Amino acid sequence: MTSKTIGMVILAIMAAYFYWATQESQTADRDDPEDEHTKSQPDVYGKGVRYHQLHPDGSLHYRLNAARIEQYYDREFTEMQAPRVHLLSANQPPWDIESKIGTIRQAVTRGGAKEDVVFLNEDVEMVQKHPENGTMTLRSEVFQLFPDRQYAQTDQDVIIDSEVGRTVAAGMVADLETGILTLSSDSTQRVHTIVLPEQFKDS
């Protein structure tokens, strides 16, 4: 057998081995139940979802609607598209809250209990219609909502529109049960309020 023939045989063996190894790898990838695609599949998937959270006495606490949800049990994590929350309070008119996207995660309180935290992102809007004080609207790109505690916060710029005027701040903590808003400022955004001229008119 010539050296040229030996070389051709070696090349043929190498090509066959490479083809076999590639096929084995592809087969293993297809059959592996722990691949990334399988891991990323939600446990619950739904469109046009409506969820009601009740108080212990059976009365409605809040209602959550979403265009789509994906829920992952192992991570205690839920993704939402176009979430809308209708949050009731014993002492205040209800809040209607919406955003483009959102997530729900589990958090542990200081007492060791678990609570849902709703993370709202992109064009977040919180609206309260008061029979005496008129409509108040809070806007920001990010809000964290704690429904059980009737509490919301953001460390992003927030705009507050009311019958009085417009207030801009660098962040806010809102007690939704009492209606008390605590505003914050930073080096680039001070708390600034513009009062509507109608407020100075004689009654």
Is residue 22 located within the same domain as residue 49? no
Q: How confident is the model at residue 37 (pLDDT cuts 50, 70, 90)?
A: very low
pLDDT of residue 10: 41
pLDDT of residue 15: 45
Q: How far apart are CA 69 and CA 42, in angstroms?
A: 9
Which strand (E) or helix (H) includes residue 87? strand 84-87
Q: Are residues 19 and 92 in the same domain?
A: no
Mark whether 123 and 94 lie in a shared domain: yes
Residue tagged 């542990």 (tokens) = 108
- Model confidence at 188, in pLDDT bands (50, 70, 90)? confident
Rounded distance between C-alpha atoms, residue 37 and residue 7, angstroms: 43
Q: Are 148 and 120 in contact (CB under 8 A)?
A: no
The answer to whether residues 26 and 46 belong to one domain is no
Residues 25 and 102 in one domain: no
Q: What is the pLDDT of residue 39?
A: 55
- Count the domains in the chain: 2
Q: Are residues 9 and 106 in the same domain?
A: no
Confidence of residue 4 (pLDDT cuts 50, 70, 90): very low
Residue 77 and residue 10 share a domain: no
Q: Are residues 24 and 114 in the same domain?
A: no
Mean pLDDT score of the chain: 81
CA 99/CA 122 separation, integer angstroms: 6
In which band, very low, low, confident or very high, does the pLDDT at 38 lie, cut at 50, 70 and 90?
Answer: very low
> Residue 33 has what pLDDT?
43
Please report the pLDDT score of residue 198 as a whole number: 62
pLDDT in tens, 121-162: 999 999 999 888 899 999 999 999 999 889 999 999 999 999
Q: Are residues 22 and 115 in the same domain?
A: no
pLDDT at 110: 77
pLDDT of residue 127: 97
Distance CA(108)–CA(189), nearest Å, equals 32
In which domain, by residue range, is 107 found?
42-200
Residues 33 and 93 in one domain: no
Helix (H) or strand (E) run with residue 147 in it: none
- The model's confidence at residue 66, banded by pLDDT at 50, 70 and 90, is very high
Same domain, 61 and 148: yes
Residues 31 and 46 in one domain: no
CATH number at residue 46: 2.60.450.10
